[in-house]
Amino acid sequence: MNAHLQPTGSAYFLTQETQQTERHTLSVLVDNEPGILARVVGLFSARGYNIESLTVSETEHGRRLSRITVVVVATPKVLVQIKLQLERLVPVHRVHDLTAEGNYVERELALIKVQGTGEHRAETLRLAEAFRAHIIDATVESFVFEVTGKPDKIDSFIALMSPLGLVEVVRTGLAAIGRGPVGM
Amino acid sequence: MAEKMTGAEMVIQALADQGVEHIFGYPGGAALPIYDAMFQQDVVQHILVRHEQGATHMAEGYARSTGKPGVVLVTSGPGATNAVTGLTDALLDSIPLICITAQVPTTLIGSDAFQECDTVGITRSCTKHNYLVKSVQDLPRILHEAFLIATTGRPGPVVVDIPKDVQFAVGEYYRPEIESLRHQSYRPQVDGDLKAIEAAVDLMLKAERPVFYTGGGVINSGPEASENLRELAELTGFPVTSTLMGLGSFPASNPQWLGMLGMHGTYEANLAMHDCDVMINIGARFDDRITGRIDAFSPNSRKIHVDIDPSSINKVVQVHVPIVGDCNRVLEEMIRIWRSKTNQPRTEAIAPWWAEIAKWRAVGSLNFKNSDTVIKPQWAIQRLYEATKKQSKEVYITTEVGQHQMWAAQHFHFDKPNHWMTSGGLGTMGYGLPAAVGVQVAHPDALVIDIAGEASVQMTMQEMSTAVQYRLPIKIFILNNERMGMVRQWQDLLHGSRYAHSYSESLPDFVKLAEAYGGKGIRCENPAELDAAIAEMLDYDGPVLFDVIVEKDENCLPMIPSGKPHNEIILPDTANLGSIIDEKGRQLV
């Protein structure tokens, strides 16, 4: 090989990541102020963390607090860093790793447009009933379903609709909350 | 106690209320109302810089040498973007800065107005926190909160972006109570967990090969932290090493001092880190210049880590006893608990360890071959150090970034904190000259020297004009090897000595350049004349550019090369640098 093309050294020391990645749901309580979402998202991109899903909305208007639910995939070591880095942001009050804490419920809502006539249309309706999906719009050749549940339930409903005339899907992303009487 | 005033006047009033005496800045269209308010008062003195990057480094030097926050005032658009390097530098080195940036009027924001930029967007990732002030009512709270956030917890830069119409608007100024001020979500933890501190002291009491690894956090924690570190070191009898950012927190003249550790640290400091059984990290963050290969970093030690930033702990190196808290408070507790358990240092138990350290010391890892014909850069710094020791003035050193910086860290010795200002985390060439200006503003009677390289110093050379304007007698000690020496060294080490753009061509005549600015220029290339030339520099009452022509191809050693653990450090008598790094090391990206 030409000496000039050989791989060269570096000022940095890299070690291979050996830990397995895990999917965790974090709940982040923040001040609802301009730029807060950009701060959180910017932190993820700047430090190379992966976001699978993110939802945000004001939850306590009087105290101007918002709750961000973010699903991340990372190694256990990085998961701890994500929590601590989020807590470093000045407008962040608390971060709970719901997956690590264990006792929580999670739901997602999806709007699903399916087009079809004849037997396909009847089959679509039967499946929608089985999944407790509501019809929120209908024409003679289409439906829009609203379906709520855990993400894998929505995944399977979408998979079933796919051969029956799936047109498009909108998902809200995950909302999650701890079980029991205590708030975060 | 509200008082009606304009937003611009509030800025000046808040600075005065915070005890700010000096600010570094540069005017422009959007900042004019603040400049007008400043013109009509004499509490806050403004230092006019030549480039906004210079203002940020001056404020860093000012902050680092005083323990007070540095304040910067710049205009919108290019004023703000020019400040970004200094803000990032302050973030990585945890320096408290308040940077007030002017912004186009709120009605024009988002319209691509003249000198508009998304300042809060651009600076979000290079500040500890930032604000866009949309209403004059919010201004007093935000200004005072900015000081609180910049100076507490892990310090850092805070940007307050103030649109021009908010500067003109009239509102009620008040000085908020500190408790009402605090962002409810912002509560830095300053007291360490007592159980963890006790566990740490228990480890220390059983240690046979202990080492204190101290960092910039000790300096940020205030002079009492350095005092307490000295006391704890004396109580325990343990050896102490420090990072680049921590130099001065422990006296270099103390026999327990091992010198700096890390990539260009001493043999004894690095081997002590590698072979220790208990490592006590106080206010350092296991930076990659310190650890080298993580999987071979201090393999057999129990590690204690004191840091005010919880995210620093277990970020790079997994530790056994994490302690989140302010260095000073934790050191105080460690001293108290140690005293409650023993009144003896572990002199006998760790005597074999000190004997081992003595052997490493005897290697003389900072030695170099001196010359009669050409000035060696290490020797130039040693001569400078000797000359400054005889001065009655306080001596402050700043540096640029590169070989000269490492040689300064190795051969200039510090006995006090806050006397060494350097760009550690970001490694910003061009830091030293403006930082020296900032230090001299804070300490007008001190001797302030920027140990520089001829490449770095040209990045912010324009601030020589600021030094002349404000009669700041800074001394710029340029080790001129006509190379970007550290780049050249890496190219020798890793890139077959192919010197791609690492030489300084068409260098200015620094003597004439100094004179053109209205300062003094001195050149020296003969070792026999160096002492006299240094004396001439120190005697001159005004800014001096001192061009020391040094050995061109001197390597900065010792050095831990890439892909090697601490105990495979390259020592100064190594002949052929090019053959040291093996194929595996070369392939590290």
Q: What is the mean pLDDT of residues A127-134?
A: 97
Please list the helix, strand and coil fractions of chain B in percent, rounded to the nearest 5, in that order: 45, 15, 40
Q: Of the residues B5, B147, B164, B256, which is catalytic? A: B164
Please name the member of A7, A10, A92 whose beta carbon is closest to the beta carbon of B185.
A92
Q: What is the pLDDT of residues B37-86, one digit of tens each?
A: 999 999 999 999 999 999 999 999 999 999 999 999 999 999 999 999 99
Q: How high is the pLDDT of residue A16?
A: 65
Is the pLDDT confidence value at A4 over 80? no
Taking the complete model, does pTM exceed 0.90, yes or no?
Answer: yes
What chain A residue is nearest to B133 in terms of C-alpha separation? A34
Is the pLDDT confidence value at A1 over 60? no
Q: What is the pLDDT of residues B427-485, one digit of tens each?
A: 999 999 999 999 999 999 999 999 999 999 999 999 999 999 999 999 999 999 999 99
Q: What is the mean pLDDT of residues A102-106?
A: 94
CB pairs under 8 A between A and B: 87
A4 touches chain B (CB under 8 A): yes
Say whether A13 and B498 touch across the interface (CB within 8 A).
no
Give B295's contacts in chain A (Cβ within 8 Å).
15
Q: How high is the pLDDT of residue A5?
A: 36
- Based on the residue annotation, tell me whether B486 is a catalytic residue of this protein: yes
Task: Count CA within 13 A, CB hemisphere, residue B466.
Answer: 27
Sign for the pseudo-dihedral over CA of B294, B295, B298, B303: positive
Give B309's contacts in chain A (Cβ within 8 Å).
88
Is the pLDDT confidence value at B583 over 70? no
Q: How high is the pLDDT of residue B184?
A: 76
Q: Report residue A6's pLDDT band, with 50, 70 and 90 as the boundaries.
A: very low
- Based on the residue annotation, tell me whether B459 is a catalytic residue of this protein: no
DSSP 8-state class, residue B213? E
- Based on the residue annotation, tell me whether B164 is a catalytic residue of this protein: yes
Q: How high is the pLDDT of residue B1?
A: 60
Is the bond into B527 cis (omega within 30 degrees of 0)? no
Q: What is the pLDDT of residues A35-57, one digit of tens each?
A: 999 999 999 999 999 999 999 99
How far apart are alpha carbons B123 and B159 in whole angstroms?
A: 8
DSSP 8-state class, residue B491? H
Q: Which range is least confidently modeled, B214-228, B318-332, B563-577?
A: B563-577
Q: How high is the pLDDT of residue A124?
A: 96
Sign for the pseudo-dihedral over CA of B136, B141, B142, B143: positive
Is the pLDDT confidence value at B306 over 70? yes
Sort A120 into a burial class: Cβ within 10 Å, 0-12 / 13-18 / 19+.
Answer: middle
From B134's Cα to the closest Cα of chain A, the distance in A is: 10
Tell me what the pLDDT averaged over chain A comes to: 91
Is the pLDDT confidence value at B31 over 90? yes
Q: Under DSSP, is residue A143 helix (H, G, I), strand (E, B) or coil?
A: strand
Share of chain B above pLDDT 70, in %: 96
Is the pLDDT confidence value at B589 over 80? no
Q: Under DSSP, is residue B241 helix (H, G, I), strand (E, B) or coil?
A: strand
Other beta carbons less than 10 A from residue A63's beta carbon: 11
Question: B288 or A168: which carries more pLDDT confidence?
Answer: A168
Q: How high is the pLDDT of residue B292?
A: 84
ipTM: 0.91
Is residue B326 within 8 A of residue B221, CB to CB? The reply is yes
Please name the member of A11, A87, A91 whose beta carbon is closest to the beta carbon of B562.
A11
- Based on the residue annotation, tell me whether B260 is a catalytic residue of this protein: no
